[in-house]
Protein backbone atom coordinates (compact mmCIF):
# COMPACT_ATOMS: atom_id res chain seq x y z
CA UNK A 1 0.00 0.00 0.00
CA UNK A 2 2.89 2.37 0.62
CA UNK A 3 3.48 1.92 -3.09
CA UNK A 4 0.70 4.35 -3.95
CA UNK A 5 1.71 7.93 -4.57
CA UNK A 6 -1.38 8.81 -2.55
CA UNK A 7 0.06 7.44 0.67
CA UNK A 8 1.63 10.78 1.64
CA UNK A 9 -1.81 12.31 1.35
CA UNK A 10 -3.20 9.85 3.86
CA UNK A 11 -0.36 10.63 6.24
CA UNK A 12 -0.98 14.32 5.83
CA UNK A 13 -4.73 14.11 6.36
CA UNK A 14 -4.35 11.80 9.33
CA UNK A 15 -2.45 14.55 11.03
CA UNK A 16 -5.48 16.75 10.42
CA UNK A 17 -8.37 14.57 11.51
CA UNK A 18 -9.06 11.03 12.59
CA UNK A 19 -9.63 8.76 9.62
CA UNK A 20 -10.84 5.18 9.62
CA UNK A 21 -10.10 2.37 7.20
CA UNK A 22 -13.00 3.27 5.00
CA UNK A 23 -11.63 6.79 4.67
CA UNK A 24 -8.16 5.54 3.87
CA UNK A 25 -9.47 3.16 1.24
CA UNK A 26 -11.47 5.91 -0.36
CA UNK A 27 -8.40 8.09 -0.64
CA UNK A 28 -6.37 5.30 -2.17
CA UNK A 29 -9.17 4.74 -4.65
CA UNK A 30 -8.87 8.27 -6.00
CA UNK A 31 -8.12 8.44 -9.70
CA UNK A 32 -4.70 10.03 -10.05
CA UNK A 33 -1.79 10.63 -12.36
CA UNK A 34 1.80 10.79 -11.29
CA UNK A 35 3.99 13.17 -13.28
CA UNK A 36 7.61 14.18 -13.12
CA UNK A 37 8.07 17.92 -13.31
CA UNK A 38 11.31 19.71 -14.10
CA UNK A 39 12.81 22.45 -11.99
CA UNK A 40 11.18 25.75 -12.80
CA UNK A 41 8.22 24.29 -14.65
CA UNK A 42 4.75 25.52 -13.83
CA UNK A 43 2.35 23.20 -12.05
CA UNK A 44 -0.50 25.71 -12.08
CA UNK A 45 -0.73 29.07 -13.79
CA UNK A 46 -2.68 32.04 -12.49
CA UNK A 47 -5.87 32.26 -14.51
CA UNK A 48 -6.03 28.55 -15.27
CA UNK A 49 -9.40 26.90 -15.23
CA UNK A 50 -8.70 24.33 -12.60
CA UNK A 51 -9.69 20.77 -13.36
CA UNK A 52 -7.51 19.01 -10.84
CA UNK A 53 -5.54 19.41 -7.66
CA UNK A 54 -1.98 18.43 -6.99
CA UNK A 55 -0.23 16.53 -4.24
CA UNK A 56 3.52 16.94 -3.94
CA UNK A 57 4.95 13.42 -3.83
CA UNK A 58 8.57 14.58 -3.77
CA UNK A 59 10.61 17.71 -4.25
CA UNK A 60 9.80 21.32 -3.45
CA UNK A 61 7.46 23.87 -4.99
CA UNK A 62 6.29 27.39 -4.34
CA UNK A 63 3.26 29.50 -5.03
CA UNK A 64 3.50 33.06 -6.26
CA UNK A 65 1.85 36.07 -7.78
CA UNK A 66 3.23 38.64 -10.16
CA UNK A 67 2.26 42.26 -9.57
CA UNK A 68 1.95 44.91 -12.24
CA UNK A 69 5.51 46.14 -11.93
CA UNK A 70 6.56 42.62 -12.82
CA UNK A 71 7.81 41.88 -9.34
CA UNK A 72 7.10 38.47 -7.93
CA UNK A 73 5.74 37.71 -4.50
CA UNK A 74 6.20 34.18 -3.26
CA UNK A 75 3.27 33.14 -1.09
CA UNK A 76 4.42 29.82 0.29
CA UNK A 77 6.86 26.98 -0.07
CA UNK A 78 5.78 23.38 -0.24
CA UNK A 79 7.28 19.99 0.37
CA UNK A 80 6.45 16.28 0.15
CA UNK A 81 2.94 15.52 1.28
CA UNK A 82 1.60 19.04 0.77
CA UNK A 83 -1.59 19.58 -1.16
CA UNK A 84 -0.42 22.59 -3.09
CA UNK A 85 -3.63 23.74 -4.67
CA UNK A 86 -6.58 22.30 -2.86
CA UNK A 87 -8.39 25.54 -3.63
CA UNK A 88 -8.54 24.43 -7.22
CA UNK A 89 -11.00 21.77 -6.28
CA UNK A 90 -13.58 24.31 -5.25
CA UNK A 91 -12.68 27.64 -6.80
CA UNK A 92 -13.12 28.18 -10.48
CA UNK A 93 -9.91 29.85 -11.59
CA UNK A 94 -6.44 29.86 -10.09
CA UNK A 95 -5.60 33.18 -8.44
CA UNK A 96 -1.89 32.45 -8.36
CA UNK A 97 0.73 30.18 -9.89
CA UNK A 98 2.51 27.14 -8.53
CA UNK A 99 5.99 26.40 -9.76
CA UNK A 100 8.51 23.63 -9.16
CA UNK A 101 11.44 24.77 -7.05
CA UNK A 102 13.29 21.53 -7.61
CA UNK A 103 12.51 18.51 -9.67
CA UNK A 104 9.13 17.36 -8.46
CA UNK A 105 6.93 14.30 -8.50
CA UNK A 106 3.37 15.57 -8.64
CA UNK A 107 0.25 13.50 -8.23
CA UNK A 108 -2.79 15.02 -9.91
CA UNK A 109 -6.36 14.26 -8.90
CA UNK A 110 -9.49 15.41 -10.74
CA UNK A 111 -11.34 18.14 -8.88
CA UNK A 112 -14.67 16.36 -9.17
CA UNK A 113 -13.25 13.25 -7.57
CA UNK A 114 -12.00 15.30 -4.63
CA UNK A 115 -15.33 17.05 -4.25
CA UNK A 116 -17.10 13.70 -4.30
CA UNK A 117 -14.69 12.38 -1.72
CA UNK A 118 -15.44 15.33 0.55
CA UNK A 119 -19.17 14.91 0.10
CA UNK A 120 -19.17 11.23 0.94
CA UNK A 121 -16.55 11.10 3.66
CA UNK A 122 -17.10 13.74 6.32
CA UNK A 123 -13.88 12.94 8.14
CA UNK A 124 -11.90 13.52 4.97
CA UNK A 125 -13.81 16.71 4.29
CA UNK A 126 -12.93 17.87 7.76
CA UNK A 127 -9.28 17.00 7.29
CA UNK A 128 -9.10 18.89 4.03
CA UNK A 129 -10.91 21.83 5.54
CA UNK A 130 -8.42 21.87 8.40
CA UNK A 131 -5.60 21.70 5.90
CA UNK A 132 -7.01 24.80 4.24
CA UNK A 133 -7.30 26.51 7.61
CA UNK A 134 -3.66 25.76 8.37
CA UNK A 135 -2.71 27.14 5.00
CA UNK A 136 -4.52 30.31 5.94
CA UNK A 137 -2.80 30.48 9.30
CA UNK A 138 0.56 30.45 7.57
CA UNK A 139 -0.53 33.11 5.10
CA UNK A 140 -1.54 35.32 8.00
CA UNK A 141 1.82 34.96 9.63
CA UNK A 142 3.46 35.86 6.35
CA UNK A 143 1.41 39.03 6.13
CA UNK A 144 2.74 40.02 9.54
CA UNK A 145 6.23 38.95 8.57
CA UNK A 146 6.35 40.99 5.41
CA UNK A 147 4.34 43.88 6.79
CA UNK A 148 5.85 44.50 10.19
CA UNK A 149 9.27 42.96 10.56
CA UNK A 150 12.67 44.18 9.42
CA UNK A 151 14.81 42.31 6.92
CA UNK A 152 16.85 40.42 9.47
CA UNK A 153 13.82 39.21 11.36
CA UNK A 154 11.86 38.37 8.24
CA UNK A 155 14.58 36.18 6.86
CA UNK A 156 15.23 34.47 10.17
CA UNK A 157 11.54 33.81 10.46
CA UNK A 158 11.45 32.18 7.07
CA UNK A 159 14.41 30.00 8.02
CA UNK A 160 12.71 28.94 11.24
CA UNK A 161 9.41 28.17 9.62
CA UNK A 162 10.96 26.17 6.85
CA UNK A 163 13.09 24.24 9.33
CA UNK A 164 10.10 23.46 11.48
CA UNK A 165 7.99 22.27 8.60
CA UNK A 166 10.79 20.16 7.17
CA UNK A 167 11.14 18.44 10.49
CA UNK A 168 7.42 17.96 10.91
CA UNK A 169 7.24 16.41 7.45
CA UNK A 170 10.04 14.04 8.38
CA UNK A 171 12.38 15.51 5.78
CA UNK A 172 15.23 16.55 8.03
CA UNK A 173 16.08 18.15 11.31
CA UNK A 174 15.34 21.72 12.00
CA UNK A 175 18.83 22.66 13.14
CA UNK A 176 20.55 21.60 9.96
CA UNK A 177 19.05 21.28 6.53
CA UNK A 178 19.43 22.05 2.87
CA UNK A 179 17.62 25.12 1.63
CA UNK A 180 16.17 24.38 -1.81
CA UNK A 181 15.67 28.04 -2.72
CA UNK A 182 18.02 30.69 -4.03
CA UNK A 183 18.51 34.00 -2.32
CA UNK A 184 16.26 35.48 -4.94
CA UNK A 185 13.47 33.14 -3.90
CA UNK A 186 14.02 34.18 -0.31
CA UNK A 187 13.87 37.81 -1.40
CA UNK A 188 10.61 37.30 -3.24
CA UNK A 189 9.13 35.49 -0.28
CA UNK A 190 10.09 38.18 2.21
CA UNK A 191 9.38 41.23 0.10
CA UNK A 192 13.04 42.20 -0.12
CA UNK A 193 15.67 42.29 -2.85
CA UNK A 194 18.16 39.53 -3.34
CA UNK A 195 20.98 41.96 -2.66
CA UNK A 196 19.58 42.81 0.71
CA UNK A 197 18.87 39.17 1.49
CA UNK A 198 22.46 38.39 0.71
CA UNK A 199 23.69 41.06 3.09
CA UNK A 200 21.27 40.07 5.81
CA UNK A 201 22.26 36.42 5.57
CA UNK A 202 25.87 37.39 5.96
CA UNK A 203 25.04 39.42 9.04
CA UNK A 204 23.09 36.52 10.51
CA UNK A 205 26.13 34.38 9.92
CA UNK A 206 28.67 36.80 11.43
CA UNK A 207 26.33 37.17 14.38
CA UNK A 208 26.56 33.43 14.86
CA UNK A 209 22.84 32.83 14.41
CA UNK A 210 23.32 30.55 11.43
CA UNK A 211 26.13 28.78 9.63
CA UNK A 212 26.09 28.33 5.90
CA UNK A 213 27.82 26.14 3.40
CA UNK A 214 26.39 26.65 -0.02
CA UNK A 215 22.66 26.25 0.48
CA UNK A 216 23.17 24.18 3.54
CA UNK A 217 22.08 25.90 6.72
CA UNK A 218 22.83 24.91 10.29
CA UNK A 219 21.57 26.56 13.40
CA UNK A 220 23.92 26.42 16.38
CA UNK A 221 21.37 27.73 18.87
CA UNK A 222 17.77 27.22 17.88
CA UNK A 223 16.29 29.26 20.72
CA UNK A 224 18.51 32.17 19.87
CA UNK A 225 17.51 32.21 16.22
CA UNK A 226 13.90 31.67 17.15
CA UNK A 227 14.07 34.74 19.33
CA UNK A 228 15.78 36.83 16.68
CA UNK A 229 13.14 35.66 14.23
CA UNK A 230 10.20 36.49 16.49
CA UNK A 231 9.16 32.96 15.64
CA UNK A 232 6.30 31.72 17.77
CA UNK A 233 5.18 28.29 16.65
CA UNK A 234 1.57 28.81 17.62
CA UNK A 235 0.41 29.70 14.13
CA UNK A 236 1.55 26.33 12.81
CA UNK A 237 -1.01 24.69 15.10
CA UNK A 238 1.15 21.71 15.88
CA UNK A 239 -1.23 21.09 18.77
CA UNK A 240 -4.02 19.76 16.57
CA UNK A 241 -6.38 17.86 18.74
CA UNK A 242 -5.64 14.43 17.30
CA UNK A 243 -9.11 14.32 15.90
CA UNK A 244 -10.98 14.65 19.16
Partner DNA sequence: CGCCCATTTGACAGCTTTCAAATCGCGTGG
Partner DNA sequence: CCACGCGATTTGAAAGCTGTCAAATGGGCG
Q: Which residues bind a copy of itself (CB under 8 A)?
A: 46-47, 63, 65, 67-69, 71-73, 75, 86-87, 90-93, 95-96, 115, 118-120, 122, 125-126, 128-130, 132-137, 139-144, 146-149, 153, 190-191, 230, 234-235, 237, 239-241
Residue number with CB closer to a copy of itself (58 or 132): 132
Binding partner at 199 among a copy of itself, DNA, none, C-beta below 5 to 8 Å by kind: DNA
Task: State yes or no: residue 183 binds DNA (CB under 7 A).
Answer: yes
User: Cα separation of 3 and 177, whole Å?
Assistant: 27
Question: What percent of the residues of the chain are helix, what percent strand, and what percent coil, each to the nearest 5?
Answer: 45, 20, 35
Nearest to 86 by CA among 57, 111, 122, 61: 111
User: Cα separation of 55 and 82, whole Å?
Assistant: 6
Nearest-approach distance from CB 230 to a copy of itself, in angstroms: 4
Sheet of strand 42-44, all strands in order from the earlier edge strand to the far edge:
42-44, 97-100, 61-66, 72-78
Which part of the chain contacts DNA (CB under 7 A), choosing from 104-112, 122-130, 156-164, 183-191?
183-191
Instruction: Tell me the angle at which helices 183-190 and 194-206 cross, rounded to the nearest 10 degrees.
Output: 100
Q: Which residues are at the interface with DNA (CB under 7 A)? A: 150-152, 182-184, 191-196, 198-199, 201-202, 212, 214-215
Amino acid sequence: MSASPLTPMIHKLERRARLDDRDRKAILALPHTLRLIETGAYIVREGDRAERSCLLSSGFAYRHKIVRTGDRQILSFHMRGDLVDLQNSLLRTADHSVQALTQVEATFMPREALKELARNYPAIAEAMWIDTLLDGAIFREWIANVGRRNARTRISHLLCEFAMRLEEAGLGERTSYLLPMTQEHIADATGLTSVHVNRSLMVLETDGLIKREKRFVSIPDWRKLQKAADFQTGYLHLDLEDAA
